[in-house]
Structures are given as C-alpha cells and as structure tokens.
Structure 1
Amino acid sequence: MDSCRAGSTVFTAVCSAFTRIIAFGLAAFLTASLPAAAQPGDLSDLAARVIDAVVNISTTRRANENPNPDAQGQRPAAPDTEEPPRAQRSLGSGFVIDASGIIVTNEHVIRNAEEIDVILSDGTSLRAELLGEDSYIDVAVLRVRPSTPLQVVKFADSNQIRVGQPVMAIGNPSGLGGTVTAGIVSAKNRDIRTSPFDNFIQTDAAINRGNSGGPLFDMAGDVIGINTLGLTPSGGSIGLNFAVPANTAQPIIAQLREFGETRRGWLGVSLQELSNEIAEALRIEPPRGVVISGVDPRGPAGPAGMRSGDVIVNLNGQEIRDPRQLQRIVAEAPVGKDVPVTVVRDGRSTELTVTLARREVPAAGTSVVSALGMKISGVTRAQQRELGLRDDVRGVVVVALDPGSPAAGQGIRPGTVITEVQNEAVDSPGAFIRRIETLKAEGRRSAVILVLAANGQTRLIALNLT
C-alpha cells in the first residue's frame, strides 16, 4: 500500500524517499538474517575447500556375515545350490584427520570386513588398516599409506552448536561419491536408544545409505559430527538424520589410535532419576542431579565416600541432569583420573574425589554379534552389576540396536537380557545366532523370545525373523 498519496508535493517526495530507505533497510536486514546455508556462494566455496578430505569406504566381507546397513552387495547363494557364496561389498564414507593417512568412519561401515579400501577424491584407491573400532558410539579409525600428504579437516567444539544453525554433509550415498547436502541442526542431545551413550546431533541435511561415516560440517568448514544414521520407512532421507557429536567422538578416536581399543571410565554405582518426591525427602531444593541407589563394593565410588541415597549434582565440573548424561561423562573421562564429585547428603553439599576405574569389556572369547537389528554380547560381571542381575542369570544382553528394527518396535532396549529363544535357553552370542538360524532354516517367520527387563520382570515377545 502507498502511504504517501496525500499531502503536498514536497511532503510526498520526502515520504517516498523515507519509504524507500525503510524498504531497503528491511531487505538488507532480512538478507543478513538468512542462514548461511541459504547463500549458494557460501556453500560452494565451503564444499570446494573441504571435499578433498572426504573419502569413500569400500569393504568386502564373507556372504554369511551380517552386512552393515549400507550394504550394496549380493545375497548369498541358496543353500541347495553348489555355487559358493559370493563376497558381499558395502559402501560408506569417511574423512581424513591426519595428513599421514588417519581416517575416521563408522564402526558399522567396516563391521566384519575382510578387506577395507579407501577411495580418495581423485579416484586413488588405498588398502586400509583397521586401527580400532567402538560399536557403542559407532566410530572406527583407519590408516592408509598415501604417497603424498592428504588434505585434512579438523573437529569443532560440538558443545557450541545451536539448534537452527546451518550445516553441510558430504558423503558417498549409493556409491555416488562427493555428494553435498545441506540443512540445519534440528536438535541436540538426542537419545534414540541405540547405545547407553546416545547424545546425537539431529539434522535435516540428507543422510542416505552410503553417507554413514562422513562428516557433518559447520559453516567454518570444521567437523561437528560424524553422520551415522537416518530414520526412514522407505530407505530415503525424510529429514530425521543423526550424527555423533565431535566432542563425543574425539576422546574415543584418540584411544583407538593409541591403544587400538576403548578404555572407558567406571564409577561403580547404580543410578536412578531424582523424582520430586525423593528430592523433597532428601531436602534438595530445587530438584537436581541423580540418586545413587546402590554402590558396588568392588568399584571406586565406595572408597571415595559415596553412599546409597547420595545425590550426585556435579561431576568433573559438569552439572548432572540425568543418569544417561552421568554415564557419558564417566565413560569419557580417562581411567585412573582423579575426578571431583559434588553430592548432596542430608540436605548439605559434600565435595569428594573419586579415581575412576576401567569399565569392564567383554572377556576374551565373549564376542559381540549382530542379528535382527541388534548387537548381542554375553552377560559380563560388569553388566550384572550395572543391570542389577542375579549372579545365576544366564542369557545374552542387547548392547545396542537399530532404532528402526522390529526389536526396537517391540520395546527391546540396550540392557535387555534375552534368556530363551523359542523355548530354548541361550547363554552366549553364538548360541543365540545358532538358534535364530535353525528357526529360519525350519521356515519360521517369527520366534518367541523370553526377555528380562532392567526392572527384573520377564515377558514374552514375538520377534520377526525375516
């Protein structure tokens, strides 16, 4: 609408000029307010600067191995044919963090691989050595031997990211290497129950099959996350995609490079949420922290002075919000490190110091296997303590699972213990796999499994085998 129609010629001219100034200022403001992702020049410059540090990962595995979710290979031959099963190939993404040839990708991209090849942006293919892998946060570290130094990218401080900020992903979807997609940070600290340490970055930047292991960049060209999975009913991106935060991945990457394995901290306590009723009874105002419901006599918490009923409100300088956050902080802290802890006891704050022990890993011979969208391991002593299981409990424990799997849809979560499959006890990952394969060979499309939940209750679940 023209607001300068009435009045003198001089007034009209002045008003029109003023209107143009306001319109120009508003346009400039709106342009400056647009996210960087909406400015093509910024994205093209950014992509050109970092794309050579992004690599394609190609793996070969036996046909009878469980392929990763990005598998592009052929199904094995039918059992009644004499044709030997063909090797399965799968594709993924990765990125260079050290010019000498250190590359980061997802653990599921190289899972069960017999051969791993890294394809650089110029098409050069290099055989890779696996330095270490961690299935809990889905990270693996590879080494290649290039003839010249590789282009690298560096990690950003992912704690500083903000919901709504623009991001860019580069990867190898469906074997189409060097593919750039863009979006925003949709949410932070997402727990989608794939492992005890979930705190994913959620983004609507497209992450399709084959993008796994590639970098999620901020607009400075630094890596804020490792693209890991997308929730989709169709196989294509629907804008629900997740990346491991850089700050979660970096200490794990450092340990894999140094030790070839992960060495996580362990506190030795059982935890529960602090309800309003418990907070009032313990005289904690306002309610904050998590309650210690039990102290393992073999863990470091007891000697440090922690007791059942204490409320942990701060550990290693970080305010504690919930049990899962505390588990992540402890797991990421170096083993053997003296860590300051603040607990509230009888309404008063008490400062303690605890020396973290090493979180127990499965003993030699206790493998982790993948089946039906779940990662299954034997029940270790540490898991018995953490889950509050009796010493005589036998079975296998779910350590991680695909959030889109039928098992997840039936309410199975990390920490669920499976004791029977179709009326037969299973006490090892091998026994679980053999039982599942036997049922499949019998033509069964589903099986009844007996699960033991973290609260000690048992229930029967019908699980799809196809």
Structure 2
Amino acid sequence: MKNFASLFLVSLLSGATTLGAYKLFIEDDQPGNGVVTVAGPENHLRNVGLGAESVDFTAAADKTVHSVVHVKNTSYRTVTNPMLEFFYGYRGGQQQEQVGTGSGVIISEDGYIVTNNHVVKDASEIEITLNNNKTYKAKLVGTDSKMDIALLKIDADTKLEYTVFADSDNVKVGEWVLAVGNPYNLNSTVTAGIVSAKARNLDSSGIQSFIQTDAAVNPGNSGGALVNTKGELIGINTMISSMTGSYVGYSFAVPSNIARKIIEDIMEYGNVQRGILGVEGGELNAKASKELGTTETAGFYINRVTKNSGAERAGLSKGDVIVKLDERNIATYSELAAYINTKRPNDKVNVTYVRDGKRYVVPVSLTKNEFVAAEFKGLQLENIDASDKKKFRINSGVRIREITNENLKPYYDELIGNIILSVDNVRATDVETVSRILGNKDENQSVSIEMVNKQGQRIRIII
C-alpha cells in the first residue's frame, strides 16, 4: 500500500509539472490570430501561419459584396444581307442586339463606379444591378483603354455602400486576398487566394503592370474588386491567363493606385494626365549586362533619351542604369512603368541611377506624353488625335512628323504625315509604346513598319 501511495504521488507531481510547463512555455506563446511560435534552426524562434482556415474572410467579404455591382452592356449593330444587296440593291439592314456582362465596384456613396474599359466598350446602354437587385441606368464618365479602366456614374435614391482604396504599393507577395464579382452572371461571388506576384507585364509594350493572384477569376469577374482581408480595394480584376478562356490558376488586376489616379484624372480633367520620364531601353539580366558591358545585373538600362524630355534636361544619358525611383527599387520596366503611371506631368521624381560604377540621384520633372516626340532611324513620331482616328478608321497609331534620315529624304513626300500602325507586328498604341519597342532595338537592326498613308492605303516598309 505504501508503494502504491508513493507511485500515485509521483504520478500526480509529474502531471502537475507537465501541465505547468505547457501553460508557461507553450500556451502563452500562442497569439489569438492563429500564428504559432516554434523553434527553427539553431533554436531561433520563427512564426508559422496556420493557413486559410485561421484567417477570417467574412468581414472583408461582407464589406465588399454590397459595393460590387453587375454591369450589363447593350450595343446594337446592323446586320445586312449581301445577296439582297448584290441582286436587288437592297440597302436596309436589321438591328441586332448584343449584350455583354461584367462587374464593377462602387467607390463613392453618390454612385461613381469603376470597371474595366472592355466591359463597357462600344456600349449603347449600360445598366447597373446592385447586390439588392435594384437596377439603374449608368452614364459613361470616361475611359482609359491603355490601362483598361472605365468610370461610370449612377443616380441612386439613397447613399450607396462603397469600397475604400488601399495603397497597392504596400501589398506583399503571399498576402491573402479576395476576388469579388459576378462570374457567369452569378451575383456577389467571393473567391480567395494569395498575391502570386507584383508588377507583372503581359503587354508587349511593357506599359501595364498587374497584381497577379491565384484567386479564382472567370468570365464576368472583369471589373470586379480585388480586396485585402480588411475589405480595402487593392486592384480591379481585369484578365485571366488561360488556354480555355476559363480560370486555370492565374488572374491579374490593375493595382488600385493606378486605377485611383486614372479616376481622379477623369473626374478633374476629363481625360488621363499621363507623364513620362523620357527614357527608352530595357531591363537588365545577366545576359543583357554582358552584352551591354555593364556590371549591373538589375535595373533599367537607358538606351536612348527622348528629346525635350525631363530625363534629357536632368542629364540622364545612354548607358545609365536606373535602379530606384524615389524610394522604390526598380528591377524591371514594368516596375518603372507602374510607378510613373501613378504620377502626372510636371510631378518630380528622384531618379537613382548608376554611371561608371557610381550612384547618383537627380530630380526629374515628368513631361506630358503629348508634348514628346520619339525618334528612331531618322523618323520623328508624334501621337495622333481623335480626328485622325475617325478619318482613317483606326484605333491607334503614331504620325511621322519629320524625317531627318538622309537615306529617306528622297521618300519625304511619300512618308511624311503617314501614320504608323505597328512596328514588327506590335501595335503602335502611342509614342510611349513605340519608344518602348524601339528602345530594345539597336540602330543597326532592321524593323518592319506597317502604316497608313495620307490616301488611306495600308503599306508596309522595312527600314
């Protein structure tokens, strides 16, 4: 009996010691947010997330679904019968209705809504359906086709719930996000994922810069909200990367900082005020650095400086490598473009660049895009205006303003005033795009140029 009592006492003391140790060393180290502190290599403490089940998405979802709307785009086109036209000279046609749908995000209580430009493109009528199923006719306030952003306005009878903007520069890779929209006309659908990458460029011009996420986005999600776990807007869902047209793992959103700047420009000026740095070139990697003879392996290599630009006036020159804008490190062109796209003409940006192994910082005043002409192989180029687009029935292009290449002078009358439509089969959206394309080419390289001449004929030349 004595032995049993002794054994019982030892067991009791052991259990109490174990429980006390658990309470002291383990339970107290477990924060209430679902993060466990564990010992890592060399006994250093590190934090390990417990996964999606430990993150509460309900508050963010509830805040967002009421501010995400369904966008219905109705357009009309005339369908003709070529056989009737040929045999009977019949010129009539039948009006055919076309309907497209997408999503939008209410950004103010008085009814301003942001969506994608491609959601409302060519719309004759735009109808908005709120989460409570109320419908309103919307007015198109303005668009930016380059960044695929459009601003709409509805006049509601009550104050509307809206989503506030977050600073998309503070978004981190690996951060949890929610995509809210209307895929396949299913109102208020919420999906979750993480930020897979930032400053993604899917455009050959390198001007666009997307947030990449693995949150499921499908047709109809376009124009919807990408929000953080606080329910704040960090992006406008724009496209997916897919061979089938449906979600397969990656989707892309216009960062909120870029979208907000576009919206503010449209509301204040009626159009987008886009400033440019005035440099042409390309991003560095090990191979490019070796070919260019520079020791830098990351940054933007300046191959050419645009005349009359802020970069030229600040003293930047060919061979300089831009590594930072203000406090943001620059490793790719899309990172450079993403930052510049949040600025306006005459804004000053501190440019950190490397020249001959030394770092320098210089303030550069951004130039208005329309006031800058690009030059390549003796062709000075300028942007076209709306009247040119209407006259030649084109959506984009750049005009040959002047010819300084002596070899092309004999063809001066044939080329001057022509509008370049594409360079090496890449669409010439504007001077900035063409500068980007040509900036990656050497003066000795040939380029294929498609253009429309003053008579409206399309021709192709190789320079």
TM-score, normalised via structure 2 length? 0.72
Q: Is the 8 A contact 1:36 1:166 kept in 2?
A: no
How much has 1:56 moved relative to structure 2? 0.9
Larger radius of gyration: 2
Q: Is the 8 A contact 2:302 2:321 kept in 1?
A: yes
Alignment of 1:159-238 (within 5 A): 159-193=169-203, 196-238=206-248
Q: Is the 8 A contact 2:200 2:209 kept in 1?
A: yes
SS in 1 for 2:136: strand
Q: Is the 8 A contact 1:283 1:346 kept in 2?
A: no
Q: 1:59 aligns to what?
A: 73
Q: Is 2:404 aligned against 1:379?
A: no
How much has 1:331 moved relative to structure 2? 3.5
Q: 2:352 aligns to what?
A: 342
Q: Is the 8 A contact 1:200 1:243 kept in 2?
A: yes
Alignment of 1:334-373 (within 5 A): 334-360=344-370, 361-367=383-389
Q: Aligned in 2, Cα 1:418/1:58: closer, same or farther, shift over 3 Å? A: farther
How much has 1:209 moved relative to structure 2? 0.8
Rounded Cα–Cα distance in structure 1 between residues aligned with 2:461 and 2:427:
14
Rounded Cα–Cα distance in structure 1 between residues aligned with 2:22 and 2:236:
44
Rounded Cα–Cα distance in structure 1 between residues aligned with 2:211 and 2:280:
27
Rounded Cα–Cα distance in structure 2 between residues aligned with 1:217 and 1:101:
19
Rounded Cα–Cα distance in structure 2 between residues aligned with 1:238 and 1:215:
19
The letter for the 2-side match of 1:97 is: I
**Structure 2 alignment gaps of length 5 or more:** 1-5, 36-48, 85-91, 371-382, 430-435, 439-446
Q: 1:38 aligns to what?
A: 53
Q: Is 2:170 aligned against 1:148?
A: no
SS in 2 for 1:334: coil
Q: 2:63 aligns to what?
A: 49
Out of 172-181 and 320-329, give the one that drifted further: 320-329
Rounded Cα–Cα distance in structure 1 between residues aligned with 2:52 and 2:147:
28
**Structure 1 alignment gaps of length 5 or more:** 1-6, 65-75, 402-413, 436-449, 457-466
How much has 1:36 moved relative to structure 2? 7.3
Superposition RMSD on alpha carbons, in Å? 4.3
Q: Is the 8 A contact 1:57 1:92 kept in 2?
A: yes
Percent identical pairs in the alignment equals 34
1:260-297, CA deviations, whole angstroms, 9 ceiling, x for partnerless residues?
21111122222233455886899976655322222222
Q: Aligned in 2, Cα 1:221/1:185: closer, same or farther, shift over 3 Å? A: same
Q: Is 2:322 aligned against 1:312?
A: yes
How much has 1:240 moved relative to structure 2? 1.4
Alignment of 1:244-323 (within 5 A): 244-274=254-284, 287-323=297-333
Q: Is the 8 A contact 2:209 2:334 kept in 1?
A: no
Q: Is the 8 A contact 2:174 2:196 kept in 1?
A: yes
Q: Aligned in 2, Cα 1:294/1:259: closer, same or farther, shift over 3 Å? A: same
Q: Aligned in 2, Cα 1:31/1:331: closer, same or farther, shift over 3 Å? A: closer
How much has 1:353 moved relative to structure 2? 2.8
How much has 1:94 moved relative to structure 2? 0.6
